[in-house]
Amino acid sequence: MNKTKRTEILIAGGGIVGSLMAIALGENGFEVVLVDPSFETSSQTKRICRSYAISRTSKRLLKKLGVWGNLDEKFEPIKKIILSESNNKTMDVTKLAEFDLQDETEEPTSYMVEDFEIRSALNLKLRASKNVEILTHYKVLSEEIAKGGSIISLNNEKKIFASLFVICDGPKSRIARGIKKKFISKDYNQVAIVANVNHINAHNGEAHQIFFSGGPIASLPLKGNRSAIVWSEEKTKGFQVSKSKKENFLRELQAKLNNVLIDITLDSEKYAFPLSLSILRDFVDERRVFIGDSAHTIHPLAGQGLNLGLRDIASLTEILVNGKKIGEDIGSIGLLKRYEQWRSFDRFLLSSYTDGINALFSNDNKILQVVRRLGLKAIDSSTILKTQFMNEAAGEFGHLPELLKEI
């Protein structure tokens, strides 16, 4: 029989949030075991077409944890956001608001980076970490609360005793469902179609979001004359579009973008995934905490899903470091409840905001058309409201953890 291994913290899930959580904890002296059966340890991380908007505060986190140095030339700053609305019959586009996200004195509020670039940088950092052990051929089967910790059972009869179990195994968390955790859920009846495209015109660092009745479509600037596309569409039509022939897909995409990008060609495969709102009612239990998409998934229209997970990392790291300094049990419910309280408002704010914006724009209701146009024009003409919008895009609001504060 295999001997039970002991560690301070076991992390289930080696995606971006799980990997960076392991790095943050390892950098602060915690012994960490990271478990993910599909974790990629090679330097050539598989290239997929997902891209992310990284806020200014998330950049600080990456910089302080020693990851940004491997990414500095890979990011594309977002210099401007342009919001528009399309007439679904004529396909004419009306600009509703414009936000300058960069000036001569301030760094950009957001940056775009491709999934494989950030995963490659994280893998490099993880392999150099002396405090993180990665188990790539194992998955979590069960957990049993014991005195002073949890006994987590893996496949091949391997057991690990940990003071704290951190779960970040992705949307619709398998572990959360396995222990019958309760979610607040809403099916948007939409899918997001994502792809990277080439185009002959320069994007000039501009991010465009055009609202249609079926859902918004966003073009987000990448390095060179390339952009990331996030196209939200009614579920049935969306899956049809994602499976259509390349030439048909590009023709419809070009028509929707209304010459924002010119002569587009695919630079990646395209794929679609269903959209839903899913928030855990309780993020923490004795010895257990859920972070990232396993705790909360939101609509991608604001580009804040990953940033929400990175703020989880910064907050949880600070709570655990401070607790350990004064001799607290890092898996105690009292300590973990402080983390939950700190993160609850941010999660509620972003989930409510993205849910409301999607509901407001994904329809043809004439009254709502007037309301949304007046609302965005009011923001567009108000310096105060624009500043608030930019601060939220940058993650500069609320009580910031040390890892997110200006260096």
Domain boundaries, the chain: 5-404
Rounded to the nearest integer, the mean pLDDT of the chain is: 88
Whose tokens are 């009846």? That residue is: 189
Q: CA–CA separation, 296 vs 286, rounded Å? A: 19
Confidence at 58, pLDDT banded by 50, 70, 90: very high
Residue holding tokens 């939101």?
A: 298
Task: Look at residue 19 and tell me whether its pLDDT is greater than 80.
Answer: yes
- pLDDT, tens only, 71-127: 888 999 999 999 888 876 666 778 888 888 765 556 788 999 999 999 999 999 998
pLDDT single digits (tens) 275-309: 999 999 999 999 999 999 999 999 888 788 999 99
Give the model's pLDDT for residue 215.
87
Q: How confident is the model at residue 365 (pLDDT cuts 50, 70, 90)?
A: low
Give the CA distances from residue 214 to residues 210, 360, 396, in Å, rounded to whole numbers and listed in that order. 11, 12, 31
CATH of domain 5-404: 3.50.50.60
- What pLDDT, in 10s, does the model give residues 389-407? 666 667 787 889 999 998 7
Q: Percent of the chain, pLDDT > 70? A: 87
Q: What is the mean pLDDT of residues 140-157?
A: 93
Closest by Cα among 74, 49, 53 to 266: 49
Are 295 and 312 a contacting pair, CB within 8 Å?
yes
Q: Do residues 215 and 249 lie in contact, with contact meaning Cβ atoms separated by under 8 Å?
A: no
DSSP states of 122-164: HHHHHHT-SSEEEESS--EEEEEEETTEEEEEESTT-EEEEEE
Percent of the chain with pLDDT over 90: 67
| pLDDT of 367 | 61
Distance in angstroms (rounded) separating the CA atoms of residues 315 and 338: 10
User: If residue 62 lies in a helix (H) or strand (E), which one and from where to where?
Assistant: helix 56-64
